[in-house]
Amino acid sequence: MDLSHYGDLPKVSVILTTFNREYFFTEAIESLLEQDYPNLEIIISDDGSSDNTFVFACEYAQDYPHIKVFQNTRTKGSAGNRNNGIDNASGDLLILLDDDDLLFKEAISQMVEVYLKFEKKYGIIMANCTRSDDGFLSGEGLDESREITFQEVLSGKLQGEFITLFEKKLLGQRRFNENLTRGNMGLLWLRLHHHSPCYYLHKPLKFYRIHAESLTQKLKYNPLEMVKNYEQDILLFYRERKAVCPAHLAKLCAMAALLYRQGGNRKKAFKKILQSLSIYPNLLALRILVCLFLPDFFLPKLTFRLRIEK
C-alpha cells in the first residue's frame, strides 16, 4: 500500500510477546517481516522460555536491525510480559501480538491509513480477525466500518477478538494489571476508549489461531481468581454503566456471583446476586439464587471459550 502522499509516517511498534512457542513464534515474526509498512519497530518480549524461542528471537535480531529482543523483567505472566514490551517500545503507535497469531501483509499500513486519513482524530483503530478453525470473523457486534462510541464499548457491544492499533501516549503510566491472571486486557482497553475516539475497520487483518494448546472449553483455573477481574470490571465506570447499560452491569454482577458460588464462597455470591437484581432484574441472577444452596450439579454452566494466555 502506498502511503507516500501522507508525508512522514508515524513509527509503529509491534510488541510480540512469547513464551515456549518456538513452533508458532517463527511464523508470527515472519508475518511481521512481510509487512509493507516502512516505519516499523518489532519488540519481542520473552517470558523466560525454556525452549529455543529466545534463541530464535536473538538470531532474527542479528539479521534485522528493527527487531529488538528483551527478557521480561516484570511479573512473570502475560500481563507483565506485555508491560515489559510496552516499556521498551519507542513507537508513536503500538500493536500487541501474541506469538501464535499472524498479521496479514497490509495490516499495519491499512490501520495507519485510517489513522492518517482522519487526521489522527482516532487514537484507537480496531480491525477484525479471521479464526483459524472455521474461517469466520472472531470479533462480533459490528458489521460495518465506522466510529465506535464509548457507550458501545461500555455496554459490552464488542465481543471476541480484534486487532488494535493505538497511540502510546494514551497509556501514560497505565499498564496491564499484573495481579490479574485473566481479563487484564479488557480493563485497560476500557480506560483507553474513555480517553480517545475509536474507529473500527470492518475487515480481517489478523489470523487468530485456535489450536489444541491454546483453547480451553472449561475452567482450568480457580474461579476465585477469575472473579477478581469481574469485580474490577464492575467498579470501573460503575455509575456510567448503571445509567446507560444497567442490564450489562447486572449481568457482570451475576457472573461474579456464579464464580463466587463455584469457588465455594456462598456469602459473597449472595451479595452479588442482590446487587445484580437491584440494578436490573435478570434470569441469570435468579437461577443462581435458586441454586445457591443446591449441589454444584444444578449450577448454570459457564460457557467461556478462552485462549490460554502465555
Average pLDDT over residues 166-180: 93
pLDDT of residue 302: 57
| pLDDT exceeds 90 at position 184 | no
Return the amino acid letter for 240: E
Which cell goes with 186?
479488557
Task: Indicate the pLDDT class of residue 213, thresholds 50, 70 and 90.
Answer: low
Q: How far apart are CA 30 and CA 75, in angstroms?
A: 28
Those residues whose C-beta lies under 8 Å from the C-beta of residue 120, and which sit 6 or more positions away, are none
Q: Which amino acid is at 9?
A: L
Q: Give 230-283 pLDDT, tens digit per residue.
A: 999 999 999 999 999 999 999 999 999 999 998 999 999 999 999 999 999 999
pLDDT value at 219 more than 90:
no
CA distances from 41 to 12, 13, 58, 92, 300 (A): 6, 5, 15, 10, 46
- What residue ranges in the chain does DSSP mark as E strands? 12-18, 40-46, 67-71, 93-98, 102-103, 124-131, 139-140, 146-148, 159-160, 163-167, 198-208, 215-216, 306-307
HEC string of 105-147 equals CCHHHHHHHHHHHCCCCCCEEEEEEEECCCCCECEECCCCCEE
State residue 180's pLDDT score. Answer: 81
pLDDT higher at 39 or 226: 39
Q: What angle do CA 256, 217, 98 make, to 5 degrees?
A: 90
Distance CA 310, CA 214 (A): 9
Task: Round to whole Å and give the CA distance between 31 and 37.
Answer: 12
Over residues 291-298, the mean pLDDT reads 77
Strand, helix or coil for residue 77: coil
Give the largest CA-CA distance in the chain.
66
Q: Where are the alpha helices (DSSP H) in 3-159?
A: 22-33, 53-63, 78-87, 107-117, 150-154
